[in-house]
Structure 1
Amino acid sequence: MIRHIATLATAALLASTAAFADFPDKPIRLIVPFAPGGVTDTSGRVVAEALSKRLGQPIVVENKAGASGNIGTQGVVNAAPDGYTLVLGFDGTLVINPHVFANFPFDSLKDLAPVGKIGDAVLIIVAHPSFPAKTLKDLIEYSKKQPGGVPYGTSGVGGTPHIAGELLNLQTGSKLNHIPYKGGGAAMTDALGGQIPLVYTAVAGASTHVKAGRLVPIAVSSRVRVPAMPDVPTFIESGVPDFEASSWVGILAPAKTPRAIIDKLNKELNAVLASPELAEKLATLGITATPGTPEQFAAQMKMDLEKYGKVVKAANIKAE
């Protein structure tokens, strides 16, 4: 009896493996839960193009924006777990939104299966040239002395730059006051015009202005310095131990997607991320390619959910 059961189990496993051997045999949809044209959207498209060549099937990018990424992502949560519908996962949606939205529509850890992380987008604090503090240490001390603190602009409430600014306040006692904008471009425009002294944003959005001398770089919040700005120190180097707050993007599938499919997608994703050509394309967007396993991606999601949850609670951040 036991031998018969074992034989059946082996046969089922072989049949399952054979069923996925031809995956994919039709086009794959990659849902980008944001509007076209941003860094997140562009990163998804360059990866999709390279990945489609490896898989031998088109990867069709579809933009489904709304609710800070919640709507498009939920659509993938509800899709068939067959590997043919994937989502471009963004840290703001997956590990920050669960804490800032009163009725978050899904469980980021249970309802999605990580395929792999694409990369990290480093964040930076930049200041208008007229701002008196030129280093992070000076900024922290200066903010403590201002009766109303010092305003800093970001792309909006609950975004990674907003959370990173509040994390800095919690760890150092600095008094940075968040000014949300409807997009990073609007915040950058006001910083360039001197209407606001500071902007916390992605390196890619600030590098041109920094190089032209229109903005002064204070520090990057990655663990190591950014090749595009090798002279700009990290928060850690500037005296804030273990401070790291980068935005990230990756690919996920619906929960219960067969492991054989996840493994194949991960293998091919890592192969394209290891390509110098693709790495260079991502670098121009301010993203550092980070090949890895689904387990590593899942572990980061879990860690960031816990870390940012504490910040959201302490700062009482709620979605607009």
Structure 2
Amino acid sequence: MSRRTALSAIAGTLAGFTATGHAQTGTDWPNQAVRYINLFPPGGATDTLSRIYCAKMSEIVGQQFVVENRSGSGGVVGTDAIAKSRPDGYTIGLSSIASQSIAPTLYANLPYNAAQDFTYISGLWQLPNLVVVNNDLPVRTVPELIALLKANPGKYAYGSSGAGTTPHLSGELLKQMAGLDVLHVPYRGGAPALLDLIGGRVQLIMDNIPGLLPSARDGKIRALAVTSPQRSPVVPDLPTMAEFLPGFEMTSWGAVCGPAGLPQPVVERLSAFSKRALENPDLIRGYRELGATPWWTTPDALVAFRAQEEARLAPVIRASGARVE
């Protein structure tokens, strides 16, 4: 064997190992801590749901799943970090409706390709929005709300946690399906939007259940419906928007993904461990307390679902005029 051939063989062998010296086949994964990148700041619903999942995964797998918050640009910053990480299974993270199915239409220059730059593992949760109004608004049902807004074009406003979010798109979908003229007021997060709703500066919000339900239960705002196709077990007495506007659906979701090229054994083990975690009674209880439903999928089903969501939401985003250059 020539010296050059020998060096090439050594280089090829070394390429099959990670920095820690373990073969990248994934058959022994995980043999060290796993980093999970969350796309949003600490303390929010996605952060809490992610930590519940990671805690259960740590318990099942026997290695720590450590949450790292990498927020910014509606999840784009953290998602790009996942895409550019080493494909060895030791960096995974949150795949969300915002980053993977809304961003491809919303952003003119996205630093990643949602269809090509990731290995999709499993769904984690589905989380509907709650439709709430200011207490002074003279409506108690969705039909009454639609009638009031239709009779007063341009008079009322709905708030959201920012352009391109599911609260924003929920409002746009309502406008498009019911033929309404309602002003959109974007805020830097759900909390300031809620404060202005209580104060009467906006009259309507459709945001994730965890952020709105405590105020609704305290009587500070009035809840009318949920935006999921089925009623929520957290608020079973509330109807769905689809009961009045057939086909109305706007459900936030979270899934777990890694960079493109994860070894198949890692994908299979991550999928199987995730299924065990999502079927655990403690996790189910923790998710439902936040209004979320555990949601396991196969990797192939998640790939198809993400693409379907992008196609479904693209016309709503374009019609809204929202665009990030």
TM-score (norm 2): 0.89
Contact 1:141 1:174 in 2 (8 A): no
The aligned residue for residue 293 of structure 2 is: 288
Is 1:245 paired with 2:245?
A: no
The aligned residue for residue 130 of structure 2 is: 124
Separation in structure 1 between the aligned mates of residue 322 and residue 169 of structure 2, nearest angstrom: 9
Q: Which amino acid aligns with 2:62?
A: G
The one-character-per-residue Cα deviations of 1:76-102 (angstroms, maximum 9, x if unpaired) are 111111111101112111111121112
Match 1:258 to one of 263, 274, 282: 263
Match 1:276 to one of 281, 284, 300: 281
The aligned residue for residue 158 of structure 1 is: 164
The aligned residue for residue 4 of structure 2 is: none
Contact 2:157 2:182 in 1 (8 A): yes
**Alpha-carbon deviation of 1:275?**
0.8
**Alpha-carbon deviation of 1:251?**
0.6
Aligned residues: 303
**Alpha-carbon deviation of 1:150?**
2.3
Unaligned runs of 5+ in 2: 1-22
Separation in structure 1 between the aligned mates of residue 300 and residue 256 of structure 2, nearest angstrom: 13
Q: Which amino acid aligns with 1:252?
A: C
Contact 1:140 1:175 in 2 (8 A): no
Q: Which amino acid aligns with 1:198?
A: L
**Pairwise CA RMSD:** 1.6
Report sequence identity in percent.
Answer: 33
Separation in structure 1 between the aligned mates of residue 166 and residue 130 of structure 2, nearest angstrom: 11
**Alpha-carbon deviation of 1:277?**
0.7
Is 1:224 paired with 2:230?
A: yes
Contact 1:157 1:319 in 2 (8 A): no
Is 1:37 paired with 2:48?
A: no
Q: Which amino acid aligns with 1:304?
A: E
Contact 2:284 2:294 in 1 (8 A): yes
Match 2:240 to one of 234, 238, 243: 234
The aligned residue for residue 6 of structure 1 is: none
Match 1:147 to one of 153, 156, 179: 153
The aligned residue for residue 213 of structure 2 is: 207
Q: Which amino acid aligns with 2:274?
A: L
Provide the secondary structure at the position in 1 that maps to 2:254.
Answer: strand
Q: Which amino acid aligns with 1:274?
A: E
The one-character-per-residue Cα deviations of 1:291-313 (angstroms, maximum 9, x if unpaired) are 22112222221111011111111
Separation in structure 2 between the aligned mates of residue 137 and residue 155 of structure 1, nearest angstrom: 25
Provide the secondary structure at the position in 1 that maps to 2:241.
Answer: coil
The aligned residue for residue 190 of structure 2 is: 184
Contact 2:26 2:88 in 1 (8 A): no
